[in-house]
Chain A
């Protein structure tokens, strides 16, 4: 089974509107971390936001917020007031806790959602 599922290959939103990018994850661990990254057409990967599984409040960074619903195992990214520069590929990722004697847990990425913001 996939560890990270992003069901929307593409999303379109009008400038200034809010958009939600879906992400569900699969883990039986209680301690894990969730990330969102942005990859514009120029190719660089930009870290946007992080949510720890024990964080009771949803993470927010400027116009980005992570809608964390632990029971549903979802970590959707909400972008408020979309801008043309938000057009990019967005990746959701999960870090599991260390296991098997490792000091670092495995990291899994989803296949991404291509967001297009139109004027």
Chain B
């Protein structure tokens, strides 16, 4: 019944390593995202994908590479991890309905807590 799922939930790794986070949604939504939430709880969008296509890249370092094999999956690969990458990474999905104005619902995954040592 999980709408948006992410794995792993926790990730502890050394600087310089490469790691991946996986995300899947079973809501049939067209759009998926990756967000980063820092230690001060500031939430910043990283990438937006619509129907497997990258729509928005919010000036994220190219060490971060998202990949969407299909509409229901959006994975995030991070190369050469740095201390500053330690954060909670959220995947989300949304469906935008176009009526007189946009109508949208957006749901988040449980988050992946990344700690780089």
Chain A residues at the B interface, C-beta cutoff of 8 Å:
31-33, 35, 37, 39, 43-47, 50, 52-55, 89, 91, 95, 97, 102-107, 109, 111-112
The one of A32, A103, A106, A109 in contact with B50, judged by C-beta atoms closer than 8 angstroms, is A103
Q: In whole angstroms, how far apart are the Cα atoms of A52 and B103 in the complex? A: 6
Q: B residues within 8 A CB of A55?
A: 101
Say what secondary structure dominates the interface of chain B. Answer: strand
Q: Would B31 and A104 count as touching, CB distance under 8 A?
A: yes
Q: Would B100 and A43 count as touching, CB distance under 8 A?
A: no
Closest-by-CB residue of A relative to B58 is A106
The number of chain B residues touching the other chain, given as a range, is: 20 to 34
Q: In whole angstroms, how far apart are the Cα atoms of A103 and B94 in the complex? A: 13
Q: B residues within 8 A CB of A52?
A: 99-103
Q: Would B102 and A97 count as touching, CB distance under 8 A?
A: yes
Q: Could you tell me the distance in whole angstroms from the C-beta of B73 to the nearest C-beta in chain A?
A: 18
Chain A binder among B14-22, B37-45, B76-84: B37-45
The one of A45, A91, A95, A103 in contact with B104, judged by C-beta atoms closer than 8 angstroms, is A95
Q: Would A112 and B31 count as touching, CB distance under 8 A?
A: no
Give the residue among A43, A45, A95 with the most B Cβ atoms within 10 A.
A45
Q: Would A105 and B41 count as touching, CB distance under 8 A?
A: no
- Known contacts A47-B108, A52-B99, A107-B33; 13 further A-B pairs (Cβ under 8 A): A32-B102, A33-B101, A35-B106, A45-B111, A52-B100, A102-B56, A103-B55, A104-B55, A105-B102, A107-B48, A111-B41, A111-B42, A112-B43
Does B62 touch A at the CB level, under 8 Å? no
Closest-by-CB residue of A relative to B90 is A45
Q: Could you tell me the distance in whole angstroms from the C-beta of B71 to the nearest C-beta in chain A?
A: 14
Q: B residues within 8 A CB of A109?
A: 42-45
Closest-by-CB residue of B relative to A96 is B102
Q: Could you tell me the distance in whole angstroms from the C-beta of B61 to the nearest C-beta in chain A?
A: 19
Does B107 touch A at the CB level, under 8 Å? yes
Q: B residues within 8 A CB of A111?
A: 40-42
Q: Would B48 and A39 count as touching, CB distance under 8 A?
A: no
The one of A44, A53, A91, A107 in contact with B101, judged by C-beta atoms closer than 8 angstroms, is A53
